[in-house]
Structure 1
Amino acid sequence: MRTGYTLSGRYRIIRALGEGGMANVYLAHDLILDRDVSVKLLRLDLRDDPSTIRRFQREALAATELVNPNIVQVYDVGEENGMQYLVMEYVEGTDLKAYIKAHFPIAYQEVIHIMEQILSAVQTAHEHNIIHRDLKPQNILIDQHKVAKITDFGIAVALSEHSLTQTNTVLGSVHYLSPEQARGGMATKKSDIYSLGIILYELLTGTVPFEGETAVSIALKHFQSEIPSVREIDPRIPQALENVVLKATAKRPEDRYTDAASMAADLKTSLSPKRAGEVKFTPAQDDDGETKVLPLSALSSLTPETAAAATQTTPQEKTATDSAPAKAAGKKGRKKTRHPRRRKFLLAGLVVLLLVAGILIGMALFRPQMTSVPSVAGRTEQVAKSRLTNAYLTVGKVHKTASATVKVHRAVRTEPRSGTQLKRQTVVDLWISTGPKRYQLADYQGDAYASTAAKLEALGFKVHRESVHSTSVPAGRIMQQSVQAGQKVVPAKTDITFTVSTGSETVTLADLTNKTKAQAQSYATNRNLNLAFDYAYSNDVAKGRVIKQSPGEGAVVQEGDEVTLTMSRGVESESSSSVDQFSVNVKIPFDDDSASESSSEDDSDDDSSSSSSSSASNLIQIYLRDQDHSLSTIYKQMTITSDTSVTLPFTVASGKSGAYKVVRDGHVIASDSHVTKN
């Protein structure tokens, strides 16, 4: 799904977070609640598969039933154009697998704290009769405050669901699979306990207990081999803490903890000094009729009765044994005649032994020699190549990749990954860091601040806001940005400041009556108001002063609004009746180029000037000459953002003419020095 797409008119996709076998996960922004969310979208190639859709819907049903601070919350479920999707809580952090790799070794107290959170979430799920069935570090998220949250209930199943058969229960990662699931049995709550024991093992040792070339070989080890001792890897681990691992990963479900709460209680006291002398946990033995091979080390632990039973011979064996001396005595006289035959048997046995030894040596010689891919993360390219070569591997292609955590020119990872068992001289590709990924900034002027800031913060930018008033830019829109468009920057290391419009500022009008025109114009300019003038004779107000204003004193207007002032012509005389009054309409064209130049020139001005000039507008000044005006003073000043028509009033003595001049951003664009009534 492309970036910027808005799902159901509400969830705007920001970027992809990851891909899974069933669905793809995206970071999105909830435009209604103004928060980041994770959107899980069913993959395109699976949208026509009814079983996959049921499984996807099962995840939604399972997760919505569970309320726990350590379970990723599901906010919404929906479908658009055949696309099934889940909207979930966005956890900003990493998964437990990556956390272990980055922080190992982890303090035992922190290990217990992480496991207690996971066990709390699993206990909640089990109380609702929901088995996760795919518990693994990749499905456990760790946020920036080290809070663990379980996600991906895609293969979880309620115990009451009868449609599930034995053949489809072995799901999830084989490294964390319980023995009963590996055998093809039904998963139970104790299967989740087993997976939790493997996760605890990995937290303590940094690795999983069983590795193999195939998934089948790993699954076989889960129900055939004992879990390796964590104390052999790290002798400092208390026996009580190892016992938690051993009990949780017991082969028989009945030997494991009864529930997650019991495991959490045992884990909580595992570092207590009172349990310092605890003996190693050993599950109860159960003879289930299967053929078992006892190792030599086990013989020493047998009881006398068991040892006697193990060494007791059958009656036939006893008879044969007892008769042997008699037969030997009876045939003593014929011993010499037996020697040649015995030599033949010895020679034949020797030949067979040599053949078997040759076969075994040949198998050992021709069997592929294996090696393990070493960890090279954080090493220089040269050192990484040397480590691969020393491990009898061939260095393949060297790829470049961005990384926010690995320094430039150092190894990020290998493919196959470190720890993988390979044949010697297998080709291994290497990924080298180019440093943090750079992001090219766009021109955000005119965009909504809220959505732009959310998108950039999700990428790692630190976004700041400065608010200014503007008569031409709507409230909430960006007027300026501190980092120029087109620059490529590292988001985590970049602060960007947006100048955002709060709309027009309100002005409460003062009393302008009896003010001169110059005083009124100064008042209007300081408050970003436009003035219009009417004229009338007055016996009370001196010529050239304001008789009245509209709107009146105390009225609340917006910046950019027009206030009409009626100016006094003084006392009407007899000659006043012989004047002509008329109006002229003038169209003022808007000039984009002039507006852009004006904006760039004003970039270095203070905030008040930049707020009025940062948008595309023209400053218009109109001059009149008639009985009441002079071309040396401004008749009207205003800003325009498009073509505008104005009406200019003239009062001239009969037979005389008037004049006008229109100035746009400092340039005269229209004038007429002979304006008459006709």
Structure 2
Amino acid sequence: MQPGYILGGRYQIIRALGEGGMANVYLAHDRILDRDVSVKLLRLDLRDDPHTIKRFHREAKAASELISDNIVAVLDAGEENGTQFLVMEYVNGTDLKQYIKKHFPIPYQEVINIMEQILAGVKAAHRQGIIHRDLKPQNILINRTGLVKITDFGIAIALSEHALTQTNTVLGSVHYLSPEQARGGMATCQSDIYSLGIILYEMLTGSVPFEGETAVSIALKHFKNEVPSVREFDRRIPQALENVVLKATAKQPSDRYESVEDMADDLSSALAPSRSDEPKYRPQPNDDGETKVISSAAITEELSRFRQSGASIADSAEISRDDTRQNHKKKKRPNRHPRRRRFAIFVGVLFFLFCGVVIGLALSRPQMGTVPEVNGASLTTAKHQLENQHLRTGKIHYLTNEKVAKGRIIKTEPVSGTELRQDTTVGIWLSSGPKKIKLANYIGKNYAMVAAELEAEGVTVDRELLSSSTVAAGRIIQQDVPDGKRVFPKKTTVHFTVSSGYKEITLPDLSGKTKSEAQQFADQNALNITYQYQYSSDVEKDRVISQKPGSEAVVREGGELAVVISKGVQKKDDKTDSFTVNVTVPFSANETSSSSTSSGSNAASSSENVVQVYIRDSDHSMNSVYRQLTISKATEVSIPYTVATGKTAGYKIVRDGKTVMQDNNLTADSH
């Protein structure tokens, strides 16, 4: 969609805002209500897909039913050339993902304020029977006043629409996916609460709890691994605030908050002093009927209890035998039946077989070790702790990291707390410190593009403007950091000197000024000034009669200024001759200038020559410059002379500080 296109006869496209899996989003202007809006336009490759169109319509219907200050409002819907579109309110700000990156660490109270607004929006959706199913920071917008709004109900479903439930398809972003969704189960209100807990985790730590090389590996961690402790990342986080994360992200939906209202209530008091000694939240044990793996410690404990009970039975039997002997003295009893004796032996054999099997299982069970928490530790410390758990150090990976010091551990794979067979390897990711970048030679390049490139890397850039007659405006003249140097972006500031182009000069009125004052003005502003002389009965001798260009005219630095100087009142007996001499000044490309212009600000380069013309006649002397110019090729200069009859004139041409032409015997007769 091109900028300027008018959609539906009303919405004028301004620019693209982003692309999604189902639609592209544009900033547009509502020409009827005179306001900016965002337009979600179904992708062209999906406009003929009936399932996608149905889902797009479902989003429009679901979102239009939601009225909340914390939900992006749907304003309109329509169709243009067979393509569906939605019109929504435009939120001028950023999404929560970018906000976290830019402002982390975020103060705890601000984290709570943002979460309370998110919870208010989700609460409004849940009350309408709508589950978002794809809650993530990218779908949460924050405007410039701090107002939070939730968007993208593209995969939200109404609880009553059972026909639309996709139990065999995992929808949503895998980093924020609930365990039941990862298994392909139906999403509930508790699924949204789990995603909210992950969002709160990211705001407190700056990263998501689970990473992996594939979406499947991340999904597996959501229903296998416990969410890491936020207090292990930052011990200053109150336990009550961590408990909100733990309860929201419990593996079993029944262990989570019953509603977002409950989560909001718990969150609102998380920083209260009365909860400073709150214990860590732990879900209640839940026997869900699944097959259990009994640990060797539990088996050993059961055997111990069994032996004790066996000893008690034996003691009772011994006492019984003593009593029998005593009674036998009094009365002789008949012998036991042989069949009973064989049965007793059989039971005994079974008992010993059972004990043997239990002991064999306990001894044959693999010995396990637990991955220790070594994030932030040195490699030596990590190896020692792994050895204590009878685990081996696996492959060492290196990553640049702004937060973790060089040589310290960023993470392990598997994560800490995971139980592994002894002698299993554990991968380690070490920080190589902040990322360094190599600076280039930016001289002559466009400043705006260079600044944008460096600032995107985290470099601070500033500039100083300087007028230049040789470098185009906006181009870099000089940089203070040498090219090829490797620097830490966030610790580096690069200063550029940038051309503002030719300096523009507004000419004053020089009428009545002396010749020396006119020359001084030309020198200060690097203007090439030429003089002509006339007799005048109105203007005092050696003062300016007129100028060209006139006063208030704007000229560039290095431009031409012609001044007419008064020769005073003409005497009757004065006889003068006037003539013009044309001189071609040769250009030299082999000389590098060591001189400066009359203003002393710019030196000539080897591709230009600075030329000063000195003349001698009735009105000029060789002590002052008649004309100054910059040439890049052989240039012809016309020199007008006025001399008393019978007198001579002369000229001298100085190029880049060296006299290259001279003639002191010019007369009117010879020219």
| Deviation readout 1:617-676 (Å, 9 max, x if unpaired) | 754322234554333321112456x44745322336699886544434423455566778
Whole-angstrom distance in 2 between the partners of 1:370 and 1:48 = 51
Q: Tell me the equivalent position of 1:298.
A: none
1:93–1:142 CA contact under 8 A, matched in 2: no
Matched, 1:632 2:623: yes
| Deviation readout 1:240-283 (Å, 9 max, x if unpaired) | 9969965886956799544x355324532467699999999999
Q: Tell me the equivalent position of 1:620.
A: 611
2:71–2:121 CA contact under 8 A, matched in 1: yes
Matched, 1:116 2:116: yes
Aligned to 2:626, what secondary structure does the other structure show? strand
Query: What is the aligned counterpart of 2:638 among 634, 645, 648?
Result: 648
1:169–1:186 CA contact under 8 A, matched in 2: no
Matched, 1:547 2:557: no
Q: Tell me the equivalent position of 1:39.
A: none
1:95–1:140 CA contact under 8 A, matched in 2: no
Whole-angstrom distance in 2 between the partners of 1:398 and 1:262 = 44
2:182–2:220 CA contact under 8 A, matched in 1: no
Question: Identity over the aligned pairs, expressed in percent?
Answer: 36
Q: Tell me the equivalent position of 1:390.
A: 388
1:248–1:256 CA contact under 8 A, matched in 2: no
Matched, 1:357 2:358: yes
Whole-angstrom distance in 2 between the partners of 1:611 and 1:124 = 69
2:370–2:389 CA contact under 8 A, matched in 1: yes
Amino acid at match of 1:631: M
Q: Tell me the equivalent position of 2:565.
A: 567
Q: Tell me the equivalent position of 2:458.
A: 460
Q: Tell me the equivalent position of 1:264.
A: 264
**Change over 3 Å in CA distance of 1:675–1:617 after alignment to 2:** same
1:249–1:256 CA contact under 8 A, matched in 2: no
Whole-angstrom distance in 1 between the partners of 2:454 and 2:174 = 35
Matched, 1:89 2:90: no
Whole-angstrom distance in 1 between the partners of 2:265 and 2:450 = 47
Q: CA deviation at 1:185?
A: 3.4
| Deviation readout 1:461-509 (Å, 9 max, x if unpaired) | 3333334444554544443333333333222222333334444555443
**Change over 3 Å in CA distance of 1:625–1:399 after alignment to 2:** farther
Whole-angstrom distance in 1 between the partners of 2:139 and 2:394 = 33
The within-5 A match list for 1:122-201 is: 122-123=122-123, 131-135=131-135, 156-157=155-156, 159=158, 165-169=166-170, 171-173=172-174, 176-179=177-180, 181=181, 184-197=184-197
The within-5 A match list for 1:262-661 is: 263-269=263-269, 336-350=337-351, 352-354=353-355, 356-357=357-358, 359-361=360-362, 363-364=364-365, 367=366, 369-541=367-539, 544-569=542-567, 579=577, 581-584=579-582, 586=584, 589=587, 594=592, 619-626=610-617, 628-639=619-630, 642-643=632-633, 645-651=635-641, 659-661=650-652
**Change over 3 Å in CA distance of 1:541–1:115 after alignment to 2:** closer
Q: CA deviation at 1:167?
A: 1.7
1:72–1:149 CA contact under 8 A, matched in 2: no
**Change over 3 Å in CA distance of 1:194–1:580 after alignment to 2:** closer
2:614–2:652 CA contact under 8 A, matched in 1: yes
| Deviation readout 1:355-410 (Å, 9 max, x if unpaired) | 5325513541xx3x443433333333433333333333333454554433333443
Amino acid at match of 1:637: Q
**Change over 3 Å in CA distance of 1:612–1:432 after alignment to 2:** farther
Aligned to 1:634, what secondary structure does the other structure show? coil
Whole-angstrom distance in 2 between the partners of 1:358 and 1:408 = 49
Whole-angstrom distance in 1 between the partners of 2:113 and 2:582 = 83
| Deviation readout 1:585-623 (Å, 9 max, x if unpaired) | 53564859736x679xx9xxxxx9668889997543222
TM-score scaled to structure 1, two decimals?
A: 0.61
Q: CA deviation at 1:192?
A: 0.3
1:530–1:560 CA contact under 8 A, matched in 2: yes
Matched, 1:663 2:664: no
| Deviation readout 1:284-324 (Å, 9 max, x if unpaired) | 9x99xx97999xxxxxxxxxxxxxxxxxxxxxxxxxxxxxx
Whole-angstrom distance in 2 between the partners of 1:428 and 1:151 = 40
**Change over 3 Å in CA distance of 1:155–1:383 after alignment to 2:** farther
Q: CA deviation at 1:564?
A: 1.0
Whole-angstrom distance in 1 between the partners of 2:176 and 2:17 = 37
**Change over 3 Å in CA distance of 1:412–1:239 after alignment to 2:** closer
Deviates more, 1:376-385 or 1:572-581: 572-581
The within-5 A match list for 1:214-233 is: none
Q: Tell me the equivalent position of 1:304.
A: none
Whole-angstrom distance in 2 between the partners of 1:471 and 1:67 = 61
Q: Tell me the equivalent position of 1:76.
A: none
| Deviation readout 1:107-134 (Å, 9 max, x if unpaired) | 7x67744642442454476689874434
1:94–1:142 CA contact under 8 A, matched in 2: no
Q: CA deviation at 1:574?
A: 8.7
The within-5 A match list for 1:101-112 is: 112=112
| Deviation readout 1:25-78 (Å, 9 max, x if unpaired) | xxxxxxxxxxxxxxxxxxxxxx99999x979x979x8999999998999xxxxx
| Deviation readout 1:539-581 (Å, 9 max, x if unpaired) | 5556654332122344444433322112345666799877452
Q: What count of residue pairs does the alignment treat as equivalent?
A: 556
Aligned to 1:167, what secondary structure does the other structure show? coil
Whole-angstrom distance in 2 between the partners of 1:378 and 1:617 = 61
TM-score scaled to structure 2, two decimals?
A: 0.61
| Deviation readout 1:522-548 (Å, 9 max, x if unpaired) | 121123322123344445556654332
Whole-angstrom distance in 1 between the partners of 2:459 and 2:230 = 42
Q: CA deviation at 1:237?
A: 8.1
2:437–2:486 CA contact under 8 A, matched in 1: yes
Whole-angstrom distance in 2 between the partners of 1:670 and 1:375 = 85
1:479–1:615 CA contact under 8 A, matched in 2: no
1:95–1:142 CA contact under 8 A, matched in 2: no
Q: CA deviation at 1:433?
A: 3.9
**Change over 3 Å in CA distance of 1:291–1:411 after alignment to 2:** closer
Unaligned runs of 5+ in 1: 1-7, 14-20, 24-46, 74-86, 295-331, 603-607
Whole-angstrom distance in 1 between the partners of 2:124 and 2:588 = 67
Amino acid at match of 2:337: K
Amino acid at match of 2:178: L
Whole-angstrom distance in 2 between the partners of 1:130 and 1:658 = 100
**Change over 3 Å in CA distance of 1:168–1:527 after alignment to 2:** same
**Change over 3 Å in CA distance of 1:243–1:431 after alignment to 2:** closer
Whole-angstrom distance in 2 between the partners of 1:593 and 1:371 = 79
1:241–1:267 CA contact under 8 A, matched in 2: no
2:533–2:565 CA contact under 8 A, matched in 1: yes
Whole-angstrom distance in 2 between the partners of 1:237 and 1:657 = 99
2:525–2:557 CA contact under 8 A, matched in 1: yes
**Change over 3 Å in CA distance of 1:150–1:492 after alignment to 2:** farther
Whole-angstrom distance in 2 between the partners of 1:479 and 1:251 = 64
1:134–1:171 CA contact under 8 A, matched in 2: yes
Q: CA RMSD in A?
A: 6.3
